Amino acid sequence: MTPPVRTSRREFLRLAGGAAVFPTLAACGGPDRAPTEGVPQSPFDGNSTAAEVTEGIDLSGKLAVVTGCTSGIGFETMRVLAARGAYVVGTSRSLERARDAGRRVVGVTSALELELGDPDSVLACAAEIRSLNAPVDMLICNAGYRGGGNEPLLTNGVERHFAINHLGHFLLVNRLLERLYLSWQGRIVIVASRAAYTDRPAGGIRFDRLEAPSDYSDRAAYAESKLANVLFARELGKRLRGTRITANAVHPGLVKTAIDRNLGGGSRMGFRLLAALVGKTVGQGAATSCYVATSPLLGAVSGRYFEDCNAVTIEGDPYMENDSLAATLWDVSVGYTQDYLDKLERPDPSDIGPWHRGASQ
Ligand SMILES: NC(=O)c1ccc[n+]([C@@H]2O[C@H](COP(=O)([O-])OP(=O)(O)OC[C@H]3O[C@@H](n4cnc5c(N)ncnc54)[C@H](OP(=O)(O)O)[C@@H]3O)[C@@H](O)[C@H]2O)c1
């Protein structure tokens, strides 16, 4: 039996403070997190920074793609991967903002426009990356949308958090898989959130309400999309078994970033206060993404969920490791994106040459 993950003093304060400021965050203290069996324990924890977890790792010659590189955790992820030698393609809804972010980084970067809510934009971005004719070694699906207000918004007829946070990345991953196959060890990191188990609706992902949300709350909708992030990584890990690509989901931690931009005044103030009191720095917030993207310990670890640089299992949670929900999510996601998907055949792992692309387009 593996012992539950110990809660550090700061973590305790974070949870306690969370409960005081946001009643729903009280749920954060609920389930125990146990180290996931079969995954090597990392030497890092919630205090580690992205710079620390990548220290001594040479990423020269590697190509990384970071969505949402203009602020917060994505910017820090791009900064650190570039500092370690990777060539980083950073995306934003605004090419100008992405370029500006690249200029603030030491290393080699390039900027691309990406609106995750627009499939044509996703296809154009993926086509630009494919035109580099290089393997994609790391794909960090970091960009995220957090709406505010209790009026549901739709994007392309689908609840907006689900459309942007999940479907946009689902399509991007599909369109870049052929480049990940070419990597010696392709890694997909999906930035989720622990909201996936603290704030999700009782039914998990309510597929029947995606097009006509009822009993809507922005917090639950965000959490639902983050549960989709976790289950997407799980299903992807399963489907990519036998290849050299891994896929994992991470929770970055509570970090004061611009993610609160759409929240109402009271909620935003609460978030900022809490993040200032007990949150992580952006360096700490980017650590788990960078660790999962680069650690030599994780070359064969896939389909897992990480917090504080370690794979954890949320004890008693009915959805975080629910394979049947993950399979349904996959089918529903294919349904929404089928007009845009690249049809790739799974490569034969015994093939020692470059991975062959199957029938596509
Ligand atoms: N901060 C936290 O406490 C926390 C906790 C748990 C999970 N997370 C997750 O961490 C990730 C990074 O968030 P952050 O805290 O660093 O927030 P942030 O500072 O607001 O960064 C979000 C990034 O996503 C991009 N973005 C937003 N909407 C987009 C869209 N429709 N299409 C494409 N890109 C879009 C933004 O770029 P542009 O505006 O330039 O397009 C921005 O660079 C998110 O997935 C978030 O859910 C954060």
Res 338: pLDDT = 95
Res 150: pLDDT = 85
> Which of ligand 1's atoms lies nearest the C-alpha of 115?
32
Average pLDDT estimate for 224-241: 97
Average pLDDT estimate for 261-285: 93
**pLDDT higher at 211 or 358:** 211
- Atom 38 of ligand 1, nearest CA residue: 92
pTM of the model: 0.91
Give the pair of three-digit tokens for residue 82: 């570039």
User: Cβ distance 342 to 177 under 8 Å?
Assistant: yes
**Angle, CA 310 vertex, CA 307 and CA 316 arms, to 5°:** 65
Average pLDDT estimate for 284-301: 98
For the chain, give the mean pLDDT.
89
Is 216 among the catalytic positions? yes
Rounded distance from Cα 101 to ligand 1 centre (Å): 14
pLDDT of 19 strictly over 50: no
Rounded distance from Cα 287 to ligand 1 centre (Å): 16
Residue pLDDT, tens place only, 337-350: 999 999 875 554 44
Rounded distance from Cα 255 to ligand 1 centre (Å): 11
User: Which of 71, 256, 278, 289 for mutating ligand 1's site (highest number of atoms within 8 Å of CB)?
Assistant: 71
> Which of ligand 1's atoms lies nearest the C-alpha of 195?
6
CA distance 30 to 297: 29
Q: Within a 13 Å sphere around the CA of 228, how many CA atoms are in the beta-carbon half?
A: 29
Rounded distance from Cα 92 to ligand 1 centre (Å): 10
**pLDDT higher at 253 or 18:** 253
**pLDDT higher at 176 or 347:** 176
Res 56: pLDDT = 98
Q: Quick one: which of 351, 72, 357 has its CA closest to 191?
A: 72
Of all residues in the chain, the percent with pLDDT exceeding 70 is 87
CA distance 62 to 78: 13
Q: How many CB atoms lie within 10 A of CB 54?
A: 23
User: Cβ distance 224 to 147 under 8 Å?
Assistant: no
Using CB distances shorter than 6 Å, the residues near ligand 1 are 67-68, 70-74, 92-94, 97, 114-117, 142-145, 164, 191, 193, 251-252, 254-255, 257-259
Rounded distance from Cα 165 to ligand 1 centre (Å): 9
User: Which of 94, 257, 272 for mutating ligand 1's site (highest number of atoms within 8 Å of CB)?
Assistant: 257
Average pLDDT estimate for 213-242: 95
Please classify residue 296 by burial: count the beta carbons closer than 10 Å to its beta carbon, then call 0-12 exposed, 13-18 middle and 19+ buried: exposed
To the nearest 10°, the Cα dihedral for 229, 148, 125, 186? -20
pLDDT of 4 strictly over 80: no
User: Which of 22, 67, 76, 92 for mutating ligand 1's site (highest number of atoms within 8 Å of CB)?
Assistant: 92
Res 360: pLDDT = 33
**Angle, CA 152 vertex, CA 200 and CA 154 arms, to 5°:** 105
Please name each of the domains of the chain with its CATH number. Answer: 21-337 (3.40.50.720)
**pLDDT higher at 10 or 288:** 288
Angle between helices 323-337 and 169-181 (to 10 degrees): 100
Rounded distance from Cα 38 to ligand 1 centre (Å): 31
Q: Quick one: which of 296, 146, 149 has its CA closest to 226?
A: 146
Rounded distance from Cα 271 to ligand 1 centre (Å): 15
User: Which of 113, 259, 261 for mutating ligand 1's site (highest number of atoms within 8 Å of CB)?
Assistant: 259
Residue pLDDT, tens place only, 94-131: 999 999 999 999 999 999 999 999 999 999 999 999 99
Give the pair of three-digit tokens for residue 54: 């990548």
Res 31: pLDDT = 82
> Which of ligand 1's atoms lies nearest the C-alpha of 146?
47
> Which of ligand 1's atoms lies nearest the C-alpha of 74?
16
Res 284: pLDDT = 98
Res 278: pLDDT = 93
Average pLDDT estimate for 315-320: 96
> Which of ligand 1's atoms lies nearest the C-alpha of 98?
40
* Residue from 145, 181, 216, 319 carrying the catalytic annotation: 216
**pLDDT higher at 21 or 98:** 98
